[in-house]
Structure 1
Amino acid sequence: MASSLRIFRRMIMPDLIRVHRYQSLPEQGPKVLFFSGGSALNKISRVFKEYTHHSIHLVTPFDSGGSSARLRAEFDIPAVGDLRSRLMALADETVMGQPEVYALFTHRLSQYETPAELKAQLQQLVLGEHPLIETIPNPMKALIQSHLAVTQQRINDDFDLRGASIGNLIIAGGYLNNQQQLDPIVFLFSRLVKTLGDVKTTLDASLHLGVELDNGDTVLGQHNITGKETDILSSPIKRMWLNKGLRTTQPTNQYIADDRKDAIEGADLICYPPGSYYSSLLANLMPEGVGRAICNNSNPKVYLPNLGIDPEQQGLSLMERVRRLVVSVEADKEGEEAYSALDYLLLDENYDYGEVDIEQLRNLNIEVIKTPLISIKPEKYDERLVVKALLSFV
């Protein structure tokens, strides 16, 4: 009978010998799991695939802005933009990959051409006559054409194609063509672009985000929360939930699928990375079963906080963000889980994150690790320094 034990070792930060070992054989690299959404982690992901082909990315399907919003409104589907973006970040970009498919998936239609011109371009893609699809070999080309044809047939005549991501349109067609299930089409296109990692939405469900502000106001929709497409929120966020639709407050929730549960429980390292604090990070912790699975994993959990200004975390000190992160995870516990929600706070050695209360963190059994993570100005995380630091934990 198999048993689970915690093994402790002396940690070096950064552990360059360990990092070099992973880089030499990424096919056997560790399973590092990220809870993230948006594009904040894409640059780090592109570097990560050089060290391991087994990173796991659980991204939020709750985006309600940009071109994703138009597809969601048209077909009532989960948001696929962040999913496509991360698939592309992890795609094999060497000659062993599929550069033609990569180019197609990352292409966006013009913002400035007329509706008739954009429809004509979509028709060219469906017929296989567009320059971006002509060079893709069959049967891959035929498969992509069939999914684009489904999208083309199902959208209304007045659907706005300006700035539309071709990758999003392909995934939407695959979703509609596969009994409205996202996972099979994500698996298929992961194979097409030879994704060097595993990318999934936390939930395969079409839900939205809702928040209550400190001033009592309620705001529905990720696009109204981020402060990017609309004005910054008038008051700090007090709490968040998953919501049915965007018109009325209808809190709901769903359990994560077994493969997500197994991925979280089996990860060698869990990272809460930089990104929009509520809509990218905490949103991934909302579905039922996520916190339970995290606390059933005995391996290290690391929080790498944002740099600069994130409109969603107005009014929140670093210590309050740590506390809300832990509370969000532990809110899902049922009492039998044996391990922690968070073990390490990973910080750049020189950046001013605000007050870091070492005593309070120790009471939470959280250790602070400081190491060089920033090497350029304006102050942004250096992807290679971050990757080397994270890999030193496993």
Structure 2
Amino acid sequence: MSSSCRIWRRMQMPDLARIHRYHSLPEQGPKVLFFSGGSALNKISRVLKGYTHHSIHLVTPFDSGGSSARLRAEFDMPAVGDLRSRLMALADETVMGQPEVYALFTHRFEMTATLAELTEELKQLVAGTHPLIQPILNPMRELIQTQLGVTQAKISEGFDLRGASIGNLIIAGGYLNNQQQLDPIVFLFSRLVKALGEVKTVLDEPYHLSVELENGEKILGQHRITGKEQAALDSPIKRMWLNKGLKAVAPINSEIADDRRDMIEQADLICYPPGSFYSSLLANLLPIGVGRAICQNPNPKIYLPNLGVDPEQFGLSLMTQVERLVTTILADTQSIEAIHFGGLDFLLLDDRYDYGDIDENKLNSLGVSVIKTPLITEKEDKYDEQMVVKALLSLM
């Protein structure tokens, strides 16, 4: 008969001995898992790869704005912008990596160019004559050309390439060339750029985000709730779900793959990081099996809340954010007889920033403890990436 237990140790913040050990041997570093999307975590990721090459990044494939939206509409595919962005943040930027591939993946077509100019530029990339692709050695160059050639052949005439990311077009070609699966091409290009960590979409499905506001309005599409491409919400979000398409309310969901479940269950630490609260963080927790896997993991789970204003958090206090986070995780555990561990252990806060009222009794009832430590530079009202990374590493 087996049983589950947790062993706690005395904690130092920051724990300089642990930090030094990880920094000395990042190849043997811990498995820190992040549920995130967007670019909010990219700077932290760049710092973290100096301490561990085993971080895990589960990102959302549900974005519906920007140039990714055009690819999604064209091929009915998941969004790949966050995937590509995080891969680049984790790429080995030394000579031992592939700086030429990095430069190609991060390049975007000009917004002011004509369709004819951009079509010609894509043609040059596929042919291998473009100055960005020429320095890349074979067989890597031929591999990239093949994926871009698939995209070129399958996009409709007049497809708007303005502002399109070359990296997104390459990944899209790989997706189309691998039976509409992202994992094979992501695995391949992770190796090409020598990503010092692992990046995967939480689901490999072309779903969208939908929300209902407190005023009863229902909104379809991630780009309509972030407050970036359209006007900010004027009513708080009441609930969110995954939706099939953007034309009508059609709730849908799928179970995470076994490898995602194993990653979550076996992570040395789980972090719910800063970023768009609903479309980047909670969206990752919606697929079936995520919450269950989190609650099977005995290791620390940390929430590092946003600083400043996130339009998606309109009407949400810090305490409400914590409650929504825990509720979203536990909603996935209702169909099982027992859960071994909770969904959140620690609220990690800067020791001087004003996050609003903190109800210690409420946090205790949720099984959450507060850790306060310096996380913000004196002159700037934003998290210091080095301080955040060292705080997280001190918890393992």
Q: TM-score scaled by structure 1? A: 0.99
Report the equivalent of 1:151: 151
Does structure 2 conserve the Cα–Cα contact (< 8 Å) formed by 1:349 and 1:373? yes
Report the equivalent of 2:195: 195
Distance 1:260 1:173 in 2: 23
Distance 1:302 1:13 in 2: 14
Report the equivalent of 1:370: 372
Report the equivalent of 1:349: 351
Structural RMSD (CA): 1.0
3-state DSSP class of the match of 2:34? strand
Distance 1:338 1:377 in 2: 43
State the AA in 2 paired with 1:207.
Y
How far did residue 378 of structure 1 move? 3.5
Deviations 1:104-132 (A, max 9, x none): 00000100111100111000000000011
Is residue 118 of structure 1 aligned with residue 118 of structure 2?
yes
State the AA in 2 paired with 1:349.
D
Is residue 91 of structure 1 aligned with residue 91 of structure 2?
yes
How far did residue 170 of structure 1 move? 0.1
Residues 201-216 of structure 1 mapped to structure 2, 5 A cutoff: 201-216=201-216
Report the equivalent of 1:293: 293
Distance 1:226 1:13 in 2: 34
State the AA in 1 paired with 2:377.
S
Moved more, 330-339 or 248-257: 330-339
Distance of aligned partners of 1:376 and 1:229 in 2 relative to their CA distance in 1, 3 Å threshold: farther
Give identity over the alignment, percent: 73
Does structure 2 conserve the Cα–Cα contact (< 8 Å) formed by 1:43 and 1:383? yes
Deviations 1:287-312 (A, max 9, x none): 00000000000000000000000000
Distance 1:360 1:6 in 2: 22
Is residue 262 of structure 1 aligned with residue 262 of structure 2?
yes
How far did residue 335 of structure 1 move? 3.2
Does structure 1 conserve the Cα–Cα contact (< 8 Å) formed by 2:46 and 2:89? yes
Deviations 1:77-119 (A, max 9, x none): 0000000000000000011100000000000010011110011
State the AA in 1 paired with 2:375.
L
Report the equivalent of 1:70: 70
Deviations 1:46-84 (A, max 9, x none): 000000000000000000000000000000000000000
Distance 2:15 2:123 in 1: 52
Report the equivalent of 2:49: 49
Distance 1:148 1:362 in 2: 53
3-state DSSP class of the match of 1:324? helix
Report the equivalent of 1:30: 30
Report the equivalent of 1:280: 280
Report the equivalent of 2:392: 390
Distance 2:2 2:379 in 1: 50
Report the equivalent of 2:341: 339
How far did residue 138 of structure 1 move? 0.4
Deviations 1:8-27 (A, max 9, x none): 21000111111110000000
Distance 2:8 2:345 in 1: 13
3-state DSSP class of the match of 1:133? coil
Q: Structure 2 regions of 5+ residues with no counterpart?
A: none
Does structure 1 conserve the Cα–Cα contact (< 8 Å) formed by 2:47 and 2:389? yes
Deviations 1:324-381 (A, max 9, x none): 0000000000232210100000000000000011121112111100000000544010
3-state DSSP class of the match of 1:112? coil
Q: TM-score scaled by structure 2? A: 0.98
Report the equivalent of 2:129: 129
State the AA in 1 paired with 2:295.
C
State the AA in 2 paired with 1:26.
P
Q: Structure 1 regions of 5+ residues with no counterpart?
A: none
Does structure 2 conserve the Cα–Cα contact (< 8 Å) formed by 1:376 and 1:382? no
How far did residue 5 of structure 1 move? 4.5
State the AA in 1 paired with 2:325.
L
How far did residue 157 of structure 1 move? 1.1
Is residue 160 of structure 1 aligned with residue 166 of structure 2?
no
Does structure 1 conserve the Cα–Cα contact (< 8 Å) formed by 2:377 and 2:383? yes
Distance 2:130 2:315 in 1: 50
Distance 1:221 1:291 in 2: 23
**4+ residue stretches of structure 1 with deviation over 2 A?**
1-7
Distance 1:299 1:292 in 2: 14
3-state DSSP class of the match of 1:332? helix
Distance 1:71 1:2 in 2: 49
